[in-house]
Amino acid sequence: NAGVMQNPRHLVRRRGQEARLRCSPMKGHSHVYWYRQLPEEGLKFMVYLQKENIIDESGMPKERFSAEFPKEGPSILRIQQVVRGDSAAYFCASSPGSGVSYEQYFGPGTRLTVT
Amino acid sequence: GENVEQHPSTLSVQEGDSAVIKCTYSDSASNYFPWYKQELGKRPQLIIDIRSNVGEKKDQRIAVTLNKTAKHFSLHITETQPEDSAVYFCAASQYNFNKFYFGSGTKLNVKP
């Protein structure tokens, strides 16, 4: 049973470019969460999605950041016009869903470096 | 919103000793408290969790206690081993909202 998959594992972008981060949840999981981790810090919630729905995006910056979880394919976190402050590790987690299990299983993360 | 504080930020113990990491939370509606272990450059991994209807939970050398009145919970690791060295994160959540609020982490160093 494959775990949560994320790609790419490392991504280097120049300031002003776009970054696309992908997350495939565990088999049978329909809920996806994105967290950001700055160096030497804890994880900060960004967005919670179910298939074709954004449930909670209260942790997402208002500009440049967007997320989706289409009916088919992985969830995508998109950062437009990246700036140096976007450099961080971005982790995706998945869970079966409310009322079933509250555990979240994390992917290996994408380490974004903005030069 | 919820605010989770975690102490200490670093903890160094001798192999075989116990380690205790403490967290407090602010929202009395939080009812699920997981603990994650993160090794350098790796993903956070769930090591133990506790729900608000339970005061204590144990899994081999790891235990977690919860005091709902005081709004704090703690991770206890007994008979520490060098492979326990990692960063440990506590988190708080509500069942129906799912997002986790993480503490700032504790870097545990177990000296052989």
The pLDDT, as a whole number, for residue A114 is: 97
pLDDT in the model for residue A45:
95
Q: How far is CA A17 from the centre of its chain?
A: 18
Residues 6+ apart with CB under 8 A from B42: A108
Are the Cβ atoms of A45 and B44 closer than 8 angstroms? no
Give pLDDT, residue B106.
Answer: 97
Q: Which chain B residues are Cβ-neighbours of A44 within 8 angstroms?
A: 102
Residue A6 and residue B44 in contact, taking contact as beta carbons nearer than 8 Å: no
- DSSP letters along A32-92, please? EEEEEE-TTS-EEEEEEEETTEEEE-TTS-SSSEEEE--SSS-EEEEE-S--GGG-EEEEE
Q: Is the dihedral of CA A101, A54, A24, A77 positive or negative?
A: negative
Q: Which of B1, B6, B95 faces A102 most closely, judged by CB atoms?
A: B95
Reported confidence tier of residue A103, pLDDT bands at 50, 70, 90: confident
pLDDT tens-digit map of B33-82:
999 999 998 999 999 999 988 899 999 999 999 999 999 999 999 999 99
Distances (CA, A) of A98 to A85, B90, B94, B99: 33, 20, 10, 11
Q: Measured between beta carbons, which residues in chain A are less than 8 angstroms from residue B43? A: 4, 91, 106-109
Using the Cβ of B21 and the Cβ atoms of chain A, whether some distance falls under 8 Å is answered with no
Residue in A42, A103, A104 nearest the CB of B105: A42
Note the pLDDT of residue A100: 62
Using CA atoms, how far residue B98 sits from A56, A60, A98, B22, B91, in Å, is 10, 16, 7, 22, 11
Query: Looking at chain B from residue 56 to 85, which residues have their Cβ under 8 Å from any Cβ of chain A?
Result: none
Tell me the chain B residues in contact with residue A7 when contact means C-beta distances shorter than 8 Å: none
Report CB contact under 8 Å: B100, A104.
yes
Q: What is the pLDDT of residue B52?
A: 86
| Two tokens, residue B46 | 């769930």
C-beta separation of B73 from B88 below 8 A: no
- B-chain residue closest to A108, CA distance: B43
- For tokens 């009395």, name the residue: B28
Residues 90-109 of B with CB under 8 A from A: 93, 95-105
Residue at B102: amino acid letter: F
3-state secondary structure of B49: strand
Distance from CA of A107 to the nearest CA of B (A): 6
DSSP-derived 3-state class of residue B83: helix
